[in-house]
Amino acid sequence: MKNAVPQVASLLLEKLLLLVHVRALPAGTEGGESPPAASGYYDTSCFRRGDLLEVPRTLFVHFGIYLGENRVAHLMPDILPAFTDDHRQIQRVVTNKRLILGVITKTASIRVDTVEDFAYGGSILVNHMDRLFKDQVLGSEEAACRAEMLVGATAYSLLWNNCEHFVTYCRYGAPVSFQTDKFCETVKMIIRDQRSVLASVLVGLASIICLGLAPSTALPTIFITFVLWMAG
């Protein structure tokens, strides 16, 4: 339990920036990031239409549905579809700015990219989640058709409508996110631990000492402490 608070802080930061979830920066744009793997880097001969592809990152996994011919449908936060219907602009590589603005405004697109652009140099697992949905796996063609029908702009939510919800709906018929479930369970553990109440009081007192006693410092301290106390 003592590592729960740092874990949640890391989860929030990673999920917000999406820098380990999906790397979509063009080479040389920011931070000297490596470019996506060159075409042909992945052996797509072992992929079948309708397969669920997973790309593990540091704390999260990115998901997509293989459509055949080196194409993957996947959900990504993206602000651009809210402003234009120009497919050529939307299909360009998604920058971090577009990603973050998409997360903030809760807009996204289900897009089709090459396997190389989808995986961005990461290792790929194929149908790894099937073991969790033994009797719910839909036909491969049905899964691919579902993904193709959903391509386009869509709403986005970090917890309730992300790339994992998209692929589990397509392949298993129900939108589920085990990453979200794990995150929520961790948050519950923190709320139930009464030490979080003490932590909120100490943070509140520190803000009052540093910023002075005012409604903007006192009210959040009282409210957050009360909520944590009642929920614990």
- Provide mean pLDDT across the span 202-217: 76
- Whether 161 and 77 share a structural domain: yes
- Whether 123 and 205 share a structural domain: no
Which residue would you say has higher pLDDT here, 57 or 231? 57
**Among candidate residues 179, 205, 220, the one where a domain is terminated:** 179
Q: What pTM was estimated for this model as a whole? A: 0.69
Q: Answer yes or no: is pLDDT of 42 > 70.
A: yes
- Whether 170 and 55 share a structural domain: yes
Contact assessment for residue 160 and residue 181, using Cβ atoms and an 8 Å cutoff = no
User: Catalytic: which of 46, 145, 163, 210?
Assistant: 163
* 17 in a structural domain: no
Residue 209 domain boundaries: 193-231
pLDDT of 227 reads 64
* 217 in a structural domain: yes
- Whether 175 and 197 share a structural domain: no
- Whether 158 and 88 share a structural domain: yes
Q: Give the closest residue to 127 by CA, choosing from 37, 41, 47, 71.
A: 47
Burial 2-16 (b: 16+ CB within 10 A, else e): eebbeeeeebeebbe
The reply to whether 210 belongs to the active site is: no
* 159 in a structural domain: yes
What is the rounded distance in angstroms from the CA atom of residue 167 to the CA atom of residue 127? 11
Q: Considering only 6-20, 36-50, 105-119, 200-214, which range has the smallest mean pLDDT?
A: 6-20
What is the rounded distance in angstroms from the CA atom of residue 65 to the CA atom of residue 30? 28
Q: Answer yes or no: is pLDDT of 30 > 50.
A: no
Q: Answer yes or no: is pLDDT of 4 > 90.
A: no
- Whether 69 and 173 share a structural domain: yes
User: For residue 54, with 0-12 CB atoms within 10 Å meaning exposed, 13-18 middle and 19 or more buried, which class applies?
Assistant: buried
* 31 in a structural domain: no
Domain count, the chain: 2
Q: Answer yes or no: is pLDDT of 54 > 80.
A: yes
- Whether 82 and 165 share a structural domain: yes
Confidence grade of residue 228 (pLDDT, cut at 50, 70, 90): low
Confidence grade of residue 19 (pLDDT, cut at 50, 70, 90): very low
In the chain, pLDDT over 70 holds for what percent of residues? 74
How crowded is residue 231: how many other Cβ atoms within 10 Å of its Cβ? 11
Q: Answer yes or no: is pLDDT of 182 > 90.
A: no
For CA atoms 99, 104, 105, 106, give the dihedral sign. positive
Q: Answer yes or no: is pLDDT of 17 > 50.
A: no
Tokens coding 150: 């959903």
Q: Answer yes or no: is pLDDT of 32 > 50.
A: no
Contact assessment for residue 113 and residue 92, using Cβ atoms and an 8 Å cutoff = no
